[in-house]
Structure 1
């Protein structure tokens, strides 16, 4: 059974009803701090807390600005706070239809509305017609009963319809079962009531895990045992009250330690028995080792960590730690000769992961109650998981969430771009705190505040940066114009049966030499092969020389445009050159004139019009300035526009020298890989 839609509000910062579609596997709530992400999870938790410890309290939960007016009507007309809609799996539908003789459709859904007085109302619609048809065909019924049943519309109307008929013993026995079914409920529709009785035991519960559930670094076991005793005594004295009403004898960190003890099959009373602490410590260490090993299936950042458990008495400590044995949890780092630190003081991400596994096991244990826990019986609500993890560790944690989602729906909050799958943006719900409106939750990112969707933009940017490198071999160039010329000339050469750029080499425009350097520094260690083709200023580029000295790139992988300009000195850097200078001046000017024909007013610029110089781009810009020709407000001209024109309308004829220069360039690049 899956949660498909939630309607939440009013609740805390959610002033107006928010309808949120829930993904079948993972739903990600993205938003700024204090936007209301955690509030949404809390509303779900209180709608069906797996351990029965949370419930709605209007004083705590109703929006404060309207609380006074609401409290006046709370007792007589409690407001709805959530409405949760569920959908059955095909297997569940088949089972339910088989048991009740219904014909529920594949898209059958039902809703449960939760009120502020912690009562519920049910929205369910089940057609009784198939059930009545089945009852009418029950074996052994008399023809009079079958005839009477033909006009019945509800199971509840069957006794009235059979009044005055001469019933056989078989009829009477059958009618008694109908009476029993009617007596069990006051619902108008008997079959809807019976369907609900079947559904309610299979509805998933919510399990919330946040910062407060982290295990402590140490705990006094005598104090813990005393708290457990106090809670048990309170339950005996107040048998009619739910556990939710109990005083806070046990806080989340107490429950975490109790869960760890339970996993080791240890009760707090065991510490008061004779026999010493060594057997108990050994069992706790065994559990810690098992959990640590489980973490390392997904934790790849530092595999030299382990959780160390110790039990000892310290009469010199402060109360309550000076009374009897204390349980100590520490994290040991074998990489640093086994140095250990208190559990809460090191590797925040690792402690979160360890604490979560202990908590998760405890929740599952409490739900089992002697039976096997069904898949999807728990919906996990994770508040800022992986918040303290390194970016790459967050990617590891996403894999763990995907593993959890195979058996449980997972909803988690985040504002980290590394906790979002960019190929699954349909799972994202953006959360905003709007002025005079309150928390708003939507799956429409286009209408969201730019600060809210920044993590999504950052995630997309990271993904694009990664996906630019779509092959193992990459040629970095300074700009998109370089990419266009290289692609176009490679196609022209290959069409003539000559050497072009190999297909397994990807051209990556970095956006300037500075960014080329950054790309190499950041991504050169990613197992990718990187070569560079850059413009030449007439002298070596110091930034690239520094990368060579740092051994981040081999000098042979650095090429400049001038090395292919002089056909008599290929491979040697010469005069200042751009990639455009590998074309003959006439070829480039022909494309330039076509691109800006309208702005030039029919005039065609020739090489003789240009001032002397080494670089065709600079010569044209100087000519435009001297002649007073304005092709764009900022001066100069759009280099990319010419390159785009070159690609969209390739020249019919390319001079032999231009072809030779580009072919020499492609041979050199191909040889590098």
Structure 2
């Protein structure tokens, strides 16, 4: 299952208005000014576990300006693979956390549980025995049975521990003990199967740094702490605890050398090989050595080997987060990764590699949410996965579904949009050399959405960069930059007075040769009188808007609805396809 969105109610700076974070199915970027509450959003979600109740301390983080208590609810949907496996229709699941022991599950997952014949039969068998005094050693066992009977409405926290205790709570003299243990085992396996559909949460709230050297006396304690970054290194590499102990303590030199070989080989095979796939700034090798009573990590480039801490902060950080994340692949469950300001120490190209890493994680059925101020941490080819936060006039954090929401304040919009706007420029400057790719400049974000959607639908092979100008009056500014960089570009304007006025600015005041670069949405020539009589906008090309098959309460909502339909593999109407193919033909795509 994937997370669709999260309502965060009255947690720290977050109130009850604009408190819904909508997640992209793959990667979501969260931007905003400092102190706007981005970290609080991640923290609120990062402490959740979908198979356990929240700690009581979580609910102590109450918004001081609110009279209401903290609560949080998470919306999920099934993946296509799950829909096919269970032969079900899509129905959202909701998990509501409203107190330390108050967790409710509703929707599609509950319907799956109710429809599981094996589980329901086992629960019924167990329920029939709860009142028999000669079966259970204590009333606690009967209480657990009662909880299990509520499985279809309430979350059963720590179910594995409770079911194990239930087995231990069976009276020794009960004749049907073996059969009852088997029934409890069926319940455990079925519950685990359903909970494994829900994602685990990986929350990186602070930077930890992998060191280049560790003393064995310290390693003995570290081995007992799976959260320690060195333990994560061992897990990621597949290094066994007993090999580490033998490598340091064995009296046999041959046994000690064998253990060292295993450790070095596992590091090369399971960490170095994977790391090279994502960090291609340089060709490096990850080497480990057991030197005396020290475990040492080296990074080798060419013929030069250096201690890890002698390398740049960026490389150290990148390797650390790679190991920390890579070591969390377990149980074949999806993971929701929450990362606060990743890549802050990395140079431009390494930040871009980090975006590739996020995409790789998402391709494995995971989701990634991260905060950033950096334009190089925004995917300029898909700015629709960006969400924005700002502080309202009452001091509460407001969460916006996109970075171009008209309700964002002017000051916030300037700062919040900066990484997005800069990302588009950075993409052009660093990724798109002159004449290598085509750049399409549009009047605004709605044009961007429609054109991006249809480029994806028509599976255009050529890499196209679409640049929204945030208003028709800014088109000439974008065009002047592209001219200066020597980039190949086309301009799409609405066939109306505003489009005509910008056409005059472009052709008469900027560069007369731009006439060949400009295409009106209806593919007609410039005719001001015709524009006044029968204006056309990008929406004129979309039959779904005219026929009301997508929400049309605003231009932006309609464009977003259309984009989401295409992403959900819903075919556009034939008229829409014909219109955009005509437009793309004029754009020489």
TM range (shorter): 0.5 to 0.7
What CA distance in whole angstroms lies between the structure 1 residues aligned with 2:216 and 2:356? 36
Cα shift at 1:252: 3.3
Q: How does 1:196-215 map to 2 (within 5 A)?
A: 199-209=194-204, 211-215=206-210
Q: CA distance change for structure 1 residues 121 and 283 in 2, over 3 Å: closer, same or farther?
A: same
Question: 2:178: which partner in 1?
Answer: none
TM-score (ref. length: structure 1): 0.50
- Establish whether residue 225 from structure 1 lines up as the match of residue 220 from structure 2: yes
2:312 matched to 1:347?
Answer: yes
Q: Which runs of structure 2 are paired with 1:506-585 in the superposition (5 Å)?
A: 519=485
Post-superposition Cα deviations, 1:284-342, rounded to whole Å, max 9, x if no partner, equal 33233232232222322222x332323224xxxxxxxxxxx1222233333xx5051x3
Q: Does 1:404 align with 2:361?
A: yes
Instruction: Indicate the residue corresponding to 1:37 in structure 2.
Output: 38
Report if the CA contact (8 A) 1:20-1:441 is conserved: yes
Distance in 2 (alpha carbons) for counterparts of 1:295 and 1:383: 21
| Alignment-derived partner of residue 327 in structure 1 | 295
Indicate if the aligned counterparts of 1:216 and 1:253 stay in contact, CA closer than 8 A. no
How big is the alpha-carbon RMSD for the aligned residues of Structure 1 and Structure 2? 5.1
Tell me which residue corresponds to 1:81: 71
1:436 partner SS: coil
What is residue 350 of structure 2 aligned with on the other side?
Answer: 393
Q: Compared with structure 1, are the counterparts of its residues 256 and 13 closer, same or farther at alpha carbon in structure 2 (3 Å cutoff)?
A: farther
- 1:94/1:326 CA distance change after superposition, 3 Å: same
- Paired residue secondary structure (1:412): strand
1:255 aligns with 2:231: yes
The offset of 1:355, in angstroms, is 2.4
Task: Give the C-alpha shift of residue 359 in structure 1.
Answer: 2.4
TM-aligned CA deviation for residue 26 of structure 1: 1.4
Contact 1:125 1:192 in 2 (8 A): no
Q: Which residue of 1 aligns with 2:399?
A: 441
Alpha-carbon distance in structure 2 between the residues aligned to 1:44 and 1:82: 8
What SS class does the counterpart of residue 425 from structure 2 fall into?
helix
Q: Shift of residue 95 of structure 1?
A: 5.0
CA offsets per residue over residues 31-67 of structure 1, 9 Å max, x none?
A: 23443333322222211189x9x96453796047469
Q: Could you tell me how far apart the structure 1 residues matched to 2:354 and 2:485 are?
A: 26
Q: What is aligned with 2:549?
A: none
Residue 419 of structure 1 is matched in structure 2 by 377
Pick which of 41-50 and 202-211 moved more: 41-50
The 2-side partners of 1:259 and 1:425 are apart by 35
What is the TM-score with the length of structure 2 in the denominator? 0.56
Query: Residues of 2 paired with 1:223 and 1:41: CA distance?
Result: 32
Question: Cα–Cα, structure 1 residues 644 and 42, in superposed 2: closer, same or farther, change >3 Å?
Answer: closer
Query: 1: distance between equivalents of 2:509 and 2:237?
Result: 70
Equivalences for residues 284-295 of structure 1 within 5 A: 284-290=263-269, 291-295=271-275
Q: For 1:3, what is the secondary structure of its paired residue?
A: strand
Quote how far apart the aligned CAs of 1:417 are.
1.2
Q: Is the 8 A contact 2:384 2:402 kept in 1?
A: no
Match of 2:93 among 110, 122, 126: 110
Partner of 2:451: none
Q: Deviations over 1:194-238 (max 9, x none)?
A: 99886334211111235534322222221231465xx6xxxxxxx
Per-residue CA deviation, residues 624-667 of structure 1 (Å, 9 max, x unaligned), is xxxxxxxxxxxxxx745999999958xxxxxxxxxxxxxxxxxx
Q: Is the 8 A contact 1:344 1:351 kept in 2?
A: yes
Give me the whole-angstrom Cα distance separating, in 1, the residues matched to 2:309 and 2:417: 32
* CA–CA distance in structure 2, aligned partners of residues 362 and 274 of structure 1: 31
Gaps of 5+ in 1: 71-78, 98-104, 136-154, 157-174, 232-248, 314-324, 475-508, 529-594, 596-637, 650-673
Q: C-alpha separation between the residues in 2 aligned to 1:273 and 1:49?
A: 43
Q: Whole-Å Cα distance in 2 between the matches of residues 89 and 215 of structure 1?
A: 35
Alpha carbons of 1:198 and 1:308: their partners in 2 closer, same or farther (altered >3 Å)?
closer
Q: After superposition, what is the alpha-carbon deviation per residue over 1:590-635, rounded to whole angstroms, capped at 9, x for unaligned?
A: xxxxx9xxxxxxxxxxxxxxxxxxxxxxxxxxxxxxxxxxxxxxxx
Aligned mate of 2:386, from 414, 419, 428: 428
- 8 A contact 1:47–1:82 mirrored in 2: no
- Flag the 1:466–1:227 CA change in 2: closer, same or farther, 3 A: closer
Distance 1:55 1:269, change over 3 A: farther
Distance in 2 (CA, whole Å) between partners of 1:332 and 1:468 is 32
Instruction: Mark the CA change 1:296 to 1:510 in structure 2 (over 3 Å): closer, same or farther.
Output: farther
In the alignment, which residue of structure 2 is the partner of 1:452? Answer: 416
Residues 331 and 107 of structure 1, relative CA distance in 2, 3 Å threshold: same
Taking structure 1 as reference, are residues 518 and 251 closer, same or farther at Cα in structure 2, changes over 3 Å only?
A: same
Is the Cα–Cα contact under 8 Å of residues 16 and 437 in structure 1 kept in the other structure? no
Question: Aligned pair 1:269/2:248, yes or no?
Answer: no
How far did residue 272 of structure 1 move? 2.6
Query: Residue 4 of structure 1: CA displacement?
Result: 0.9
Q: Distance in 2 between matches of 1:16 and 1:39?
A: 14
Deviation at residue 19 of structure 1 after TM alignment: 0.9
What SS does the aligned partner of 1:106 have?
coil
Q: Which residue of 2 aligns with 1:311?
A: 290
Alignment of 1:72-151 (within 5 A): 79-93=69-83, 95-96=85-86, 106-117=89-100, 119-124=102-107
Deviation at 1:84, TM superposition (A): 0.9
Structure 1, residues 237-277: CA drift from partner, whole Å, max 9, x if none?
xxxxxxxxxxxx77633533553675356555333332355
2:328 pairs with 1:363: yes
Cα distance in structure 2, aligned partners of 1:35 and 1:201: 34
Q: CA deviation at 1:471?
A: 3.3
